[in-house]
Amino acid sequence: MKKWRLIEEETIDSAWNMAVDDALLYIFKDNDLPILRIYQWPQALSFGRFSNPFKTIDLSLAEKYRISCVRRITGGGILIHGGDISYSLILPSSFAKEHGVKGGYRYLCRFLIHLYEKMGLKAAFATEVNIPQTRSEVCLAGHEAYDIVIGGKKIGGNAQRHIRSAMLQHGSIPLLYDRELFEPLFLKTSGFGSSTSLKELGKSESFETVKNMVKESFCETFDANFMENGLTPCEMKTARDLYEKKYRQNRWNLEGRE
């Protein structure tokens, strides 16, 4: 049985969510316990590291609707939040060396497959059901080999960032999508037509219930044992600095400049 740090936070703030992920990744050392972090979002859009939201999103409408916008340090497309639970995994770089990028997705996303199966849903990786890979500026409109699909439709999304000492994978588990709110924001496609959520699949479990199922599925998949704690003083200070100097700044969130 492998021991993991479990971090759960009550704060729902887009900029803070990404500041904490950033801090945890860059402070992580080889001999640290791997981390599972679980958190929620306000109504928000997160942009991939290389996204150009000016070509994809009506930013003035997002501001009018008070939808927060934040840029991730991971790749991938633009993703909507607010009806989802997100997770982050921080592991030593040796994991990536052992499994590779695609192998890492396949290995780590097994707990999500298990989660959906526990809910009575038939989930699979896109490559296993012969869904072709497609690129898109919008997360829900594209398909990677190890995206998870149910009934031929993508559910959520996952992305990674690798540095010399560690790697981060984070992803979204959508309980529901507010299509009426978010659809008008997309200048081209929103990806809603090729995606689904738990509510659309007939599952109406509460956020708290799904959170508990996420933890159970993770432990069962990886034979994990949790040590629950909050951020260390060093992690908290680094996250606060990143929050103020990076994740609350338009030069990062909209333009991708640090």
Tell me if 149 is assigned to some domain.
yes
Walk along the chain (258 residues) and give the pLDDT tens digit of each residue. 699 999 998 778 999 999 999 999 999 998 899 999 999 999 999 999 999 999 999 999 999 999 999 999 999 999 999 999 999 999 999 998 899 989 999 999 999 999 999 999 999 999 999 899 998 999 999 999 999 999 999 999 999 999 999 999 999 999 999 999 999 999 999 999 999 999 999 999 999 999 999 999 999 999 999 999 999 999 999 999 999 999 999 999 999 998
Torsion of CA 198, 42, 137, 65, to 10 degrees: 110
Tell me if 134 is assigned to some domain.
yes
For the entire predicted model, the pTM comes to 0.96
Tell me if 258 is assigned to some domain.
no
pLDDT for res 65: 96
- CB-based contact 186:179 (threshold 8 Å): no
Q: Would you list the DSSP string of 107-143?
A: HHTHHHHHHHHHTT--EEEGGGGTPPPB--SBGGG-B
pLDDT for res 128: 94
| CATH number of 244's domain | 3.30.930.10
- CB-based contact 76:160 (threshold 8 Å): no
Tally of structural domains, the chain:
1
Tell me if 232 is assigned to some domain.
yes
The whole domain housing 81 covers: 2-253
pLDDT for res 232: 96
Instruction: Provide CB contacts within 8 A for 158, sequence distance 6+.
Output: 76, 105, 108, 109, 112, 146, 147, 148, 169, 170, 171, 172
